[in-house]
Amino acid sequence: MAELVKNPAVQEKLYDEIKTTCGDGEVSEEAVHSMPYLKAVILEGLRKHPPGHFVLPHKAAEDMDVGGYLIPKGETVNFMVAEMGRDGEEWDRPMEFVPERFLEGGDGVGVDMTGTKGIRLMPFGVGPRICARLSIAMLHLEYFVANMVREFEWKEVPGDEVDFAEKREFTTVMKKPLRPRLVPRN
């Protein structure tokens, strides 16, 4: 939501898609499946701001060679999820919020969050211990963000600007909580 406050043009493009798809009604669970820009906004949020900067620590089941480095059996391995999503060698202008990268012609098209076709984005982990509820989590994100944008215009408050500094709690959260002005759309 902070990125939508900071990027009003993205928020308006999303609102346009909501209006076109749902008219004046609430965004239903079914409707979110036919909203590509909404999906792109959520993916871009998970790329730039994954809630977990690491997945749960994993352990090497056997000696492994990864790019010439030996990971001995039994060693703990942590995955730098946020750094992957912000890697300038993988992503064009990684610190900018650009949902369009997940639409046709963008550098994020076809990205596979389950890791079966390579790993560039893994906010839910990958492999056998991938988040057990990835689908319901994605549905919740799409459903809530769409309905919150349908109800309100999310605006920055002068003198109380959005600050993307982070702090680590159980997940990574905003150091300065988001305090936007919500303007009812109707």
Residues that bind ligand HEM (CB under 6 A): 51-52, 55-56, 123-125, 129-133, 136-137
Known binding positions for heme: 131
How near is the Cβ of 51 to ligand HEM at its closest, in Å? Answer: 5
Q: How far is the CB of 104 from ligand HEM (least distance, A)?
A: 25
Total number of residues shown for the chain:
186
Q: Which residue is nearest to ligand HEM (CB)?
A: 125
Point out the annotated binding site: 131
The CA distance from 115 to 125, in Å, is 8
Q: How far is the CB of 72 from ligand HEM (least distance, A)?
A: 20
Amino acid letter, residue 93: R
Residue with Cβ nearer ligand HEM (1 or 155): 1
Close Cβ partners of 130 (under 8 Å, ≥ 6 residues apart): 114, 115, 124
- Least Cβ distance, residue 133 to ligand HEM (angstroms): 3
Name which of 128 and 158 has its Cβ closer to ligand HEM: 128
H or E stretch at 69? strand 69-71
Alpha-carbon gap, residue 174 to 45, rounded angstroms: 13
Per-residue H/E/C for 25-56: CCCCCCHHHHCHHHHHHHHHHHHHCCCCCECC
Return phi, psi of residue 133, to 5°: -125, 40
Residue placing its CB nearer to ligand HEM in the complex, 33 or 59: 59
Residue (84 or 131) nearer to ligand HEM, CB: 131
